[in-house]
Amino acid sequence: MSAGAPTTLSIVIPALNESENMPALMAGLPLGELGALGWDVEVIVVDNASEDGTGDLARALGATVVEQPRRGYGNAYAAGFDAARGDIIATGDADLTYPFDHLPDLLRELVDGGVDFLTTDRLHRANAAAMKTSHAIGNAVLSTVSRALFGSAFRDSQSGMWIFRRSVWSSLDVRSPGMAFSQEIKNEAWRRGFTCREVPIEYRPRGGVVKLNATRDGLTNLAQLFAHRLRRPVDLASTSQDVVSTAIPAPASPLASQGPSIGGGAPRRVIDLREPQDATLASDGVS
Say how far residue 261 (Cα) sits from the centre of its chain: 23
User: Any idea what DSSP says for residue 100?
Assistant: G
- Interstrand relation of 117-121 and 64-67 (parallel, antiparallel or unpaired): unpaired
Is residue 195 in a domain?
yes
Tell me the CA distances in angstroms from 153 to 11, 39, 80, 244, 279, one per residue in order: 26, 30, 27, 9, 22
Buried b (16+ CB within 10 A) or exposed e, 110-139: bbebebbbbbbbbbbbbeeebbeeebbebb
- Interstrand relation of 269-272 and 8-15 (parallel, antiparallel or unpaired): unpaired
Using CB atoms within 10 Å of the CB of residue 283, give its burial: 0 to 12 exposed, 13 to 18 middle, 19+ buried: exposed
CB 50 within 8 A of CB 16: yes
| Number of separate domains in the chain | 1
Distance between CA 166 and CA 84 in Å, rounded? 8
What pLDDT was estimated at residue 55? Answer: 98
What pLDDT was estimated at residue 49? Answer: 97
Is residue 2 in a domain?
no
What pLDDT was estimated at residue 128? Answer: 65
Is residue 67 in a domain?
yes
Is residue 130 in a domain?
yes
Query: Tell me, what CATH number does 68's domain have?
Result: 3.90.550.10
pTM of the model: 0.80
Is residue 153 in a domain?
yes
**What SS3 class is residue 162?**
strand
Cα–Cα nearest to 96, from 5, 26, 176, 16: 26
Is residue 1 in a domain?
no
Is residue 3 in a domain?
no
Distance between CA 106 and CA 102 in Å, rounded? 6
What pLDDT was estimated at residue 6? Answer: 77
What pLDDT was estimated at residue 115? Answer: 98
**What SS3 class is residue 167?**
helix
Dmax over CA atoms of the chain, in Å, equals 54
Write out the residue range of the structural domain in which residue 145 sits: 8-283
Q: Which residue intervals of 5-72 are DSSP H helices?
A: 22-27, 31-36, 54-60
CA dihedral 85, 86, 89, 92 (to 10 degrees): -70
**What SS3 class is residue 95?**
coil
Is residue 250 in a domain?
yes
Task: Please give the average pLDDT of every successive group of 10 residues along the chain, which has 287 residues.
Answer: 79 98 98 98 98 98 98 98 98 96 97 97 75 80 92 94 97 94 96 95 79 76 89 49 43 31 34 36 35
